Amino acid sequence: MSYTPLGAPHTLTPHIRPDSWSDEEPVDQKKILEDRCKGTCVKQFRAYEACVDRIKGDDTGTKHCTGQYFDYYYCIDRCVAPKLFKKLK
């Protein structure tokens, strides 16, 4: 038995799982919703792909498609957020 700094005994209580919990691994709902929302962001994805094609020959490393990449994922996040929070409530 161990003692807390104040001298009171400290006992460990076993963790009890409710019967309603399953032994299956939880599924990440965000990834599922992101995959479903990608179809609504085709315009942003095509802009990103066009940028990638434009800068393929850049050997300097100064050109990038960060803006288009963030536009694409911003679109996906705007689609996912309301659906995800409904599932989390």
Q: Split the chain (89 residues) into runs of 10 and give each run's mean pLDDT.
A: 48 54 80 95 97 91 94 97 84
| pLDDT of amino acid 75 | 98
The predicted pLDDT at position 88 comes to 75
Q: How many CB atoms lie within 10 A of CB 27?
A: 8
pLDDT score recorded for residue 2: 45
Please tell me the predicted confidence (pLDDT) of residue 86: 85
Domain boundaries, the chain: 27-88
CA–CA gap between residue 44 and residue 73 (Å, rounded): 9
Predicted TM-score (pTM) of the model is 0.67
- Under CATH, which architecture does the 27-88 domain have? Orthogonal Bundle (1.10)
d(CA 61, CA 67): 16
pLDDT of residue 23: 75
Distance, CA of 29 to CA of 82 (rounded, Å): 12
pLDDT recorded at residue 1 = 47
